[in-house]
Structure 1
Amino acid sequence: MGDPLHPDDIRASDIDRKLVQDRLHVAHAQGLIDLAEFDARVRTAWDAKTRGELGRVVADLPSPAAPRPAKPSSARVAMTVLTRIWLSVVAFNVAVWGLLVLSTGWAYPWWIWFAAPGAVLGVLWWSGVGRDNER
């Protein structure tokens, strides 16, 4: 039996070559390589026979950065804060009303007046205000 193959000696597939080409596209878009160098490196990548040759094509380029999660929009943050404030105020008023009912027997349910702002918030959420663009 012969010596085991080094990972760099494994034959490169078209998928491997395409991945290197995509990485070169990113490097060109970021201004790391100019168009002539991009063209030469893509040609070299598609002529490569092994993964080691492909690795040398992009060896001097920084590794691709992982995509960062998108920040929530300011409208979404505002809607979330307003909704939490509204829920807190309603919960506090219902709790106070409940204690009053338990101690006196009956009290006007003034907390029901908070339904109107809640309905406005509900309509805004339903209409898409504060919804992230990607979704």
Structure 2
Amino acid sequence: MSEATPGVPAENMRVSDAERAQVQDRLRRAHDLGQLDLTEFDERVRTVWAARTRGDLAGITADLPVPPPDPARPGVFSPTPGGMAMRVLTLVWLSTVVVNLTVWGIVALTVDESVYPWWLWAAGPPGAVLAVLYATGIGRNPPLTLRRWCAR
């Protein structure tokens, strides 16, 4: 939010659509947390978009508690030693594939005949092994179950 202009109190400053959208997001989060029912959420959102000043917007969320911070989104790999190993193996595999594909591309562009795609041998078998390891759960974060999702 920008600073108030001289002579105009901050609560009498006009609001933008971006500020209205921020308040609507705050109301949506309050509804998701169970602090507002759907009818009250709808009424307040209508009031948000009818608001003209910052004072009007402040009154809409004044009775709501400060929302908890968003939970951190878990990464693909777990923070365990198995997850670290999978992260390193994946980076090594990806680097190898990129280098081989780049070299193959340069050779294919500079030679007048077709070039055997040897980079597939660098990408395919190790990539299949990594996919099997990941599919079996090695180094992977546990799947998000309904119980864990509700606990967030």
Task: Measure, in 2, the Cα distance between the counterparts of 1:76 and 1:59.
Answer: 40
Q: Say whether residues 1:67 and 2:70 are aligned partners.
A: yes
* Partner of residue 130, structure 1: 139
Match of 2:105 in 1: none
Return 5+ residue gaps in structure 2 as ranges: 1-5, 92-137, 143-152
Distance 2:36 2:27 in 1: 8
- Give, in angstroms, the shift of residue 67 of structure 1: 2.8
CA contact (8 A) 1:8 1:50 kept: yes
Q: Distance in 2 between matches of 1:74 and 1:15?
A: 36
2:89 maps to amino acid: W
- Tell me how far 1:78 sits from its aligned partner: 3.1
* TM-score calculated relative to the size of structure 2: 0.49
Describe the shift of the 1:76–1:16 C-alpha distance in structure 2 as closer, same or farther (beyond 3 A): same
Q: Which has the higher contact order (CA 8 A, sep 6+)?
A: 1
1:46 aligns with 2:49: yes
- Paired residues in the alignment total 91
Aligned to 2:117: none
Change (3 A) 1:62 1:126: same
2:139 partner SS: coil
Q: Which residue of 1 aligns with 2:149?
A: none
- Letter of the 1:126 counterpart: L
What CA distance in whole angstroms lies between the structure 2 residues aligned with 1:123 and 1:33? 43
Pairwise CA distance, 1:125: 3.7
Contact 2:30 2:36 survives alignment (8 Å): yes
The match for 1:11 among 2, 14, 32 is 14
* Residues 1:28 and 2:31 aligned together: yes
Moved >6 Å (runs of 4+): 71-74
**Please, which runs of 5 or more residues in structure 1 have no aligned partner?**
81-120
Structure number with higher helix proportion? 1
Output the CA distance in 2 between the equivalents of 1:123 and 1:56: 50
Do 1:10 and 1:50's aligned partners in 2 also have CA atoms closer than 8 Å? yes
